[in-house]
A and B are shown apart, each in its own frame.
Chain A
Amino acid sequence: MSGDNIFAALTEEHGGDARWAFGTGFTDALAGVDTDLPDGVDGQDLALYCQMLGDDALVQAQRLTEWVTDAPELEEEMALANIALDLIGQARLLLARAGQADGTGRDEDAYAYWRDPAEFRNVRLAAAPRGDFARAVVTLLVLSSARLAVFARLADSRDPVLAAVAAKAVHELAYHRDYAASWAVRLGDGTDYSRERMRAALADVWPLTGELFACHPVEARLAGQGVAVDPAQVREEVHGVLAQVLAEARLEGPGPFPEPVLAGREGRHGAELAPLVEEMQKVAREHPGATW
């Protein structure tokens, strides 16, 4: 790289790859991975399941990045951005898997940037407005606890790609959950003011937790084949984790989870998803196929 002019160095040719910061021409997240479907598994089912898990991560990550430049401290901003980055990495692999499983060959960008909000399959809590930092902590605690419990089981999936993605993600999600739990304890067992903000956050988030344990017909079919995890199976475990955190935080609860009712998994979202998706897709849609 020539040191004379930083901009010249950035646009230097590298073997035909158009590249800037880390654009390298490699966009296929699953390059070289054996992606055959397990025997008897319906590709459309598997693709939809990968979208559910992928969209949970993608949408939550997009919401988390709203904290960048706006977190209470620089360290928390970096933590939340790092967590979002892990989730985007999980989403890329899962959405790339979806494109292979359904036979369309779509890459992860096609799913992230070229679907309309109603085609997203994330749970509503992943898209919930960010609220204050207490809300971010509670939301992250609930989502990471549920995802960790599902992924720990998914590491034994008959689908080798799902199993590999889950086995890796488990370690990342454990860090996310521990981070959220330690903040929940610090704020809950902090001042009267921070405790009150945590109480309010729990009250806001709780009604959206039921959906995390609702089983979509695709999840049920794939769970029966040893490919997916029925989220109802992790309900008790997640409740136990949240009870442990809230006790340590000297906060009341948790009460029972609300009824498990499908919403986002069927494409029925709150009004907050469309602006989130629009912002995420803006550059890709205004400059289709752009490289830099």
Chain B
Amino acid sequence: MSTGQLTRAQALAAASAVTDPELPMLTLADLGILRRVEVEDGTARVWITPTYSGCPALAEMRADVDRAVRAAGFDRVEVRTELSPPWTTDWITAEGRRKLAEHGISPPGSAPRRQAGPVPLILSPTRTVPRCPRCGAADTEELSRFGATSCKSLHRCRTCLEPFEHVKEI
């Protein structure tokens, strides 16, 4: 395929469909980490924003985007990192939230707004109390603020007694 026929829409579609290795029900578009895609002289450039500074999935996502856009016919692909503004869970789309809940993961609430001045200390057990994604009950408890991946905390429902994960607001 000649690169002259390839459009930005094709590169965008390929990059958008890549899934998160840790949350495979979500595409990078659902997660809101895909910043923009440009095509110039046959080169596709894709900008993504890391979630957590140390998220080991970032390198995997970059490799997957590179592979997907090449598979769409682009010979030259550059995957670039955009650090600013930092990613926030507010960028997870409505569709992404629906998919998380469908897979038993409680989607994040609104991220705390960064105010000017010192960051306030929070000593209460949780910032927000998520509803159980299985039975919908509001009576849940936090087991650990740090779950199996950087982006999730671990909770238990006091009604159906099932444990569940919650995507932390950040």
Chain A residues in contact with chain B, CB under 8 A?
Answer: 14-15, 17, 19, 22-27, 29-33, 75-76, 78-79, 81-83, 85-90, 92-93, 148-149, 152, 160-161, 163-165, 167-175, 177-179, 181-182, 185, 237, 241, 244-245, 248
**B53 close to A178 (CB less than 8 A):** no
Q: Which residues of B contact A241 (CB under 8 A)?
A: 118, 121
Nearest-neighbour CB distance to chain A for B140, whole angstroms, equals 16
A152 touches which one: B81, B82, B119 (CB < 8 A)?
B119
**B123 close to A31 (CB less than 8 A):** no
Q: Which residues of A contact B168 (CB under 8 A)?
A: 175
Determine the residue in chain A with the shortest Cβ distance to B145: A179
**What secondary structure prevails in chain B residues at the interface with A?**
loop
Residue B150 at the chain A interface, CB threshold 8 Å: yes
Q: Which residues of B contact A179 (CB under 8 A)?
A: 145-146
**A178 close to B114 (CB less than 8 A):** no
Q: Which residues of A contact B24 (CB under 8 A)?
A: none
Determine the residue in chain A with the shortest Cβ distance to B71: A15
Q: How many chain B residues have a CB neighbour from A under 8 Å?
A: 45
Q: Which residues of B contact A172 (CB under 8 A)?
A: 52-53, 170
Question: Can you report 18 A-B residue pairs in the complex whose CB atoms are below 8 A from each other?
Answer: A14-B63, A24-B62, A31-B80, A33-B81, A78-B147, A81-B146, A92-B54, A93-B83, A149-B118, A152-B119, A160-B84, A168-B83, A168-B87, A170-B114, A175-B168, A181-B123, A182-B125, A244-B121
Q: Which residues of B contact A163 (CB under 8 A)?
A: 84
Given A26-B59, A33-B82, A174-B119, 5 further pairs, Cβ under 8 A? A24-B62, A85-B54, A164-B84, A175-B146, A175-B168
Distance in angstroms between the alpha carbons of A212 and B54 in the assembled complex = 24
Distance in angstroms between the alpha carbons of A111 and B122 in the assembled complex = 35
Nearest-neighbour CB distance to chain B for A2, whole angstroms, equals 17
Determine the residue in chain A with the shortest Cβ distance to B143: A75
Residue B91 at the chain A interface, CB threshold 8 Å: no
